[in-house]
Structure 1
């Protein structure tokens, strides 16, 4: 069995879409103005973004992007930090990992 898609409600579809394309290489499969976007990863999984007026995920909720190496995690961390995102340094937990608050109201984990 393969997971087909995950839907996130976000406050700003375009900002979340740009973030996911820029830092994680997702590609656009479809859009409906500023209210909906469907993004694909390298394996063909779909991440849909739907606009909501407010977003309230539980504190521990996040989506994760596994990287092929610790250096790739460090590279993404550097890019995010250089682009003005507030990110704590990667640390050793269940892998080499860090979290970032994404535009639109959800959290992303980057790990190797």
Structure 2
């Protein structure tokens, strides 16, 4: 069985949606104003965003986007950096990886 639906509570649904569409290719399949958005990826997984206030995930909480190779990880890292996000260069840890704080109050890992 695979996980194919996750809900995130975020403090800015619109900014979170735009971030996920721009950098990770998710598509918004439905929304209700600035309080809710349903996002879909190429494999049919659903990520929903719901507006909340005082969103505070545990320090180690994150969602991950696995890439096919290091070149793709580097490309996303560079694009985020050029767009003003604070990202460190990818490192070889449990995979080739880096983290970024997404608009909306959650962290994203990009790895291969």
Q: Which range, TM-score by smaller chain?
A: over 0.9
- Deviation at 1:2? 2.9
SS state of the match for residue 87, structure 1? Answer: coil
Whether 2:42 is the aligned partner of 1:42: answer: yes
For 1:110 and 1:4, locate their aligned partners in 2 and report how far apart those are by CA, in whole Å: 18
Q: Deviations over 1:43-67 (max 9, x none)?
A: 1000000000111100000000000
**Equivalent residues in 2 for 1:17-96 (5 A)?**
17-96=17-96
Moved over 4 A (4+): none
Tell me, which stretches of 5 or more residues in structure 1 are unaligned? none
SS state of the match for residue 20, structure 1? Answer: helix
For 2:94 and 2:2, locate their aligned partners in 1 and report how far apart those are by CA, in whole Å: 24
Task: Using structure 2 for the length normalisation, give the TM-score.
Answer: 0.98
Task: Please give the root-mean-square deviation of Cα atoms over the aligned residues, in Å.
Answer: 0.6
Residue 14 of structure 1 corresponds to 14
Residue 98 of structure 1 corresponds to 98
SS state of the match for residue 14, structure 1? Answer: helix
Aligned pair count reads 112
